Structure 1
Amino acid sequence: MTTILILEDEPFIALDIETILEERGHGDFVTFSTKTEADIWLKENTPPVAIVDPRLSDGVCTGVARHLVDRGIPFIVYSGETESVSELEPAFAQGELLMKPTAPEVLVDAVERALNCFEARRNSAS
């Protein structure tokens, strides 16, 4: 599966991420604004990469972060918070941190690094 998971509760930021990914050829993604929706989706799906705002409208995405780490799914922590997200949940330290706002090419480079990491892990497991 090549669907990129996006967790973002600010509609304009989510749309911006989606547009950036589409313009760079990454058009297969799913976007959720709550950790509850993401938790449900992750029970049946394994994305190759996730872009995660750690604090969504229904709370901190601790379960999502733990799930991504446990499944070996690379992820990008896309946050506007100045506090350390790893203090919210230590699993966030396993993701690549990008502060909002970031340049589109920085976001795309991070996504492509994560996709390459996922592919390398998948190939080594084969």
Structure 2
Amino acid sequence: MKQLNGLTVGTILLLEDEPFIALDLEEILSEAGFTQIRTIVSCAEAESWLQEGDPMLAIVDPRLQDGMCSGVVRTLVERKVPFIVYSGDVETVSEQEPAFAFGIWLSKPSPPGDIIQAIKTTLLGRL
């Protein structure tokens, strides 16, 4: 794990199926010094990766190629992995899966500074 501004940072799990949004987030994260990023585009792939992977933090688009990420988010909550819900559909998502309420909500699109601040807040909340 690496230190960044006094925070120990491991892998950030990025769940995003829109290629341009994923690339934008990867660039924002890299420029901020977060270099261990695992981008995944489907719930099934995320659930499989989580069997072995241990993210420090997750950024979650609630709806991926194969549907709502309810199982993934429940796993994150069970494992006490902090996460950011990056979505433009707050009300519908939280009604469909209560586990999303455990994440920090960030509306799409958000400025890079807001994204980095949400990550820092989320990581500090884990300590």
Counterpart check, 1:38 vs 2:69? no
- Please show how residues 1-126 of structure 1 align to structure 2 within 5 Å: 2-81=10-89, 83-118=91-126, 120=127
Q: Percent identity?
A: 55
Alignment length (residue pairs): 119
Q: CA RMSD in A?
A: 1.1
Dislocated runs of 4+, deviation >3 Å: none
Structure 1 unmatched ranges of 5 or more: 121-126
CA distance in structure 2 between the partners assigned to 1:45 and 1:115 by the alignment: 18
Please state which structure has a larger fraction of its residues in strand. 2
- In the alignment, structure 2 segments of 5+ residues that lack a partner are 2-9
Which one is further off, 34-43 or 109-118? Answer: 109-118
CA distance in 1, matches of 2:73, 2:64: 13
